[in-house]
């Protein structure tokens, strides 16, 4: 078990994927914030009279639905990356714990 866990591979993974992780998070935040702008732009395109009707038009619009789908994809990518990073950190923690246990065992034996 101990031989299967490489803290160095986990550290390399964290380092090598840090930029992608940041890009994924930035994309999610941007898309969530732009959703408000998209709604306003679509409401302005509407010739309807009431704000409620314009809002309904915007929410039902194909472009808004496409934007929501893009948010879903971005969140999926971000969450996958986030959990892979958490898993790499957990591997390091497990390795640290195994090393500590091995040191304790060595002291107990000698």
Domain ranges of the chain: 2-109
**Model pLDDT for residues 4-48, shown as the tens digit of each residue:** 778 999 999 999 999 999 999 999 999 999 999 999 999 999 999
Quote the tokens at residue 26: 């930035």
- What is the pLDDT at residue 106? 79
More confident residue, 105 or 11: 11
Spatial contact of 17 and 84, defined as CB atoms under 8 Å apart: yes
As a whole-number percent, the residues of the chain with pLDDT over 70 amount to 96
Q: Is residue 46 left, alpha or beta, with left meaning phi > 0 and alpha meaning psi from -120 to 50?
A: beta
Q: What does the buried/exposed string (b/e) look like for 43-58 if buried means 16 or more CB atoms within 10 Å of the residue's CB? A: beebeeeeeeebbebb
Q: What does the alpha-carbon distance between residue 43 and residue 58 come to, in Å, rounded to a whole number?
A: 5
Kindly indicate the confidence band of residue 105, based on its pLDDT and cuts at 50, 70 and 90: confident
- What is the pLDDT at residue 108? 83
Q: What does the alpha-carbon distance between residue 8 and residue 75 come to, in Å, rounded to a whole number?
A: 28
- What is the pLDDT at residue 80? 98
Which helix (H) or strand (E) segment is 67 a member of? helix 62-109
Backbone Cα Rg of the chain: 24
Residue 110 pLDDT exceeds 80: no
Residue 1 vs residues 10, 53, 94, 99: alpha-carbon distances, Å: 15, 62, 10, 12
């Amino acid at each position: 078990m101990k031989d299967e866990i490489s803290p160095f591979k986990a550290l390399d993974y964290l380092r090598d994927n840090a930029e992608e992780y940041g890009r994924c998070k930035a994309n999610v935040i941007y898309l969530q914030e732009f959703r408000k702008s998209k709604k306003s732009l679509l409401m302005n395109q509407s010739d309807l009279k009431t704000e409620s009707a314009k809002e309904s038009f915007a929410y039902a619009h194909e472009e808004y639905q496409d934007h929501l789908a893009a948010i879903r994809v971005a969140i999926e990518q971000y969450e996958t990356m986030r959990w892979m990073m958490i898993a790499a950190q957990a591997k390091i923690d497990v390795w640290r714990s195994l090393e500590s246990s091995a040191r304790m065992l060595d002291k107990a034996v000698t």
